[in-house]
Amino acid sequence: MELEYWSSKGNYGGNVQESVGRRGFQVNKRSMQRLWAPTLGVAMMGAVSVRAQAPEQSAPPPATQTAPAPAPAQSPVPYQPKFAGDPARSESEAQALGYMRVVLRAQKEYKKRHNKFAESLPALAGTGSLTKRMARSNERGDYTVGFRSQKDGFILAMTPKQMDSEHRSFYAEEDGAIHADDQKAADQNSPRIK
């Protein structure tokens, strides 16, 4: 049961073709590699998977050892400002303020084109960088968006789902000034942020 191995100088395309033959049966070496490579790959992945799922065999701890000390509680990572003068106190506030700035810029651009402010967020979609997706939902992470059109302007509010020192409420009108409050819903009398 001996296999013969031979290589020809080249086939029609100039490629060297290697074949393994036994008793007149020839198999192209490349075909064999294509056939067995995926099979071996699957077998190896299965072996790794079984090994990963198998519980480690270790000796039980001696009776004299005590349980390991609990890991110290990790304090939350403080907010890192996104730019110099960033008024946000948390990641959630940064996202809410970013959304407000996008809407305020879009309203300014809309007013230049149409000589009036948009009456709704969906009407404003596609202006500036405000997308339809951003205008469609009034849920923005930890905040709820409030938008109301007025005779010659609009009111934009971002109300947190839970108000605290890191989740203030925000308010803006057509003048573009953003006001914030951590005690109640922000309005035009709340302190202005930078």
Q: What is the pLDDT of residues 83-132, one digit of tens each?
A: 999 999 999 999 999 999 999 999 999 999 999 999 999 999 999 999 99
Higher pLDDT, 60 or 178: 178
Which residues, other chains included, contact 18 with Cβ-Cβ below 8 Å and sequence gap of 6+? 5, 6, 7, 28, 29, 30
115: region left, alpha or beta (phi > 0 left; psi from -120 to 50 alpha): left
Domain boundaries of the chain, sorted by first residue = 16-46, 91-181
As given in the structure block, the two tokens for residue 102 are: 């996008």
Distance separating alpha carbons of residues 106 and 130, to the nearest angstrom: 7
pLDDT tens per residue across span 22-77: 555 555 666 656 655 666 555 566 555 555 555 555 555 555 555 566 655 666 78
